[in-house]
Structure 1
Amino acid sequence: MKRKETYLSRDFRETAALRFPAQAKELNTAFDMRLSALLAENAGASKEKQYHLKRQILPGIAAYEALQRVMPKEEALQIVHGYVERLARTSHKQLAALLHIPGLYRLVPGVFVKSTRSVFGPAAGFDSKELQVGNGIWRVDMMKCPYHDTCVAYGCPEL
């Protein structure tokens, strides 16, 4: 069964093709093999945690490790961070465009709180403390994060 391509795997493959055309096939194979191994090792995780593992955490680790075959660790780190930053900028632009729809901005805080509690909840491996600061400001302190915990477990806390 073919895996769904994530933004990280797509961006990794693009980097391999553009910057290392002679080694692209080898890099893609290394990425695919490492990702398959990581997925197998984490197959027992909850459905909620799998969402994060499959979509971002494990492809990020696999890309980071594969890139280190052809570049220094720090450069590989910056490239993978660049993939994440690009997604964040794109998502921000999309949300900003949606907020031009009259009245929609009023719904965003409630939807954001509900989705954050759902997607980043205990079932997904997160532990958070919500702090109500008043004046409509909502603050969340993450006490446990599977992104951090998984990266530490695989020897790449800097990721």
Structure 2
Amino acid sequence: MVAVGAVVSNMMAVQSSHCNSCQPASVKTTAGELLKNGLGWVAWQIHRTVSHTSEEARKLLQDWAKDPIMFKSAGITDNTTLSLGSSHRYNIYGNDFDWGRPIAVRSSRENMSDGKMTVFSGAEEGSIDFEVWLFPEVIQAMVNDAEFMNTITV
């Protein structure tokens, strides 16, 4: 599941109005498709799913206003689901409460489940930070996967 953010300007008649929304979206594949097509193909599928125009986002919000539904993520995932969240538009490292610049990012336990991945813009320009919650046996399988380990920096 991917939480898709939409920023819509001029949603209302007032020129200065600005609206933020988030909606769930999903990309499904099989292990066979993933192995056949690779991670770049999966990234493209996610890109196609989350790409939308302001007009499409506006229509989604107008439809929601007519029939509002509150999204609940609890109970919709199983051990074959990877959930991805965050936004490059939110400068997580830009917060300074006079304690100094943050050196790491953590989410609350209430927002986590097996397979939940949060991606933040990194502290260094052009970098990204991942927060991943996985069962220990899943982490061990990843460590044992040479192809995977060759693609990451630990």
Q: One fold, TM greater than 0.5? A: no
Structure with the higher fraction of residues in helix conformation: 1
Q: Which has the higher contact order (CA 8 A, sep 6+)?
A: 1
Higher strand share: 2
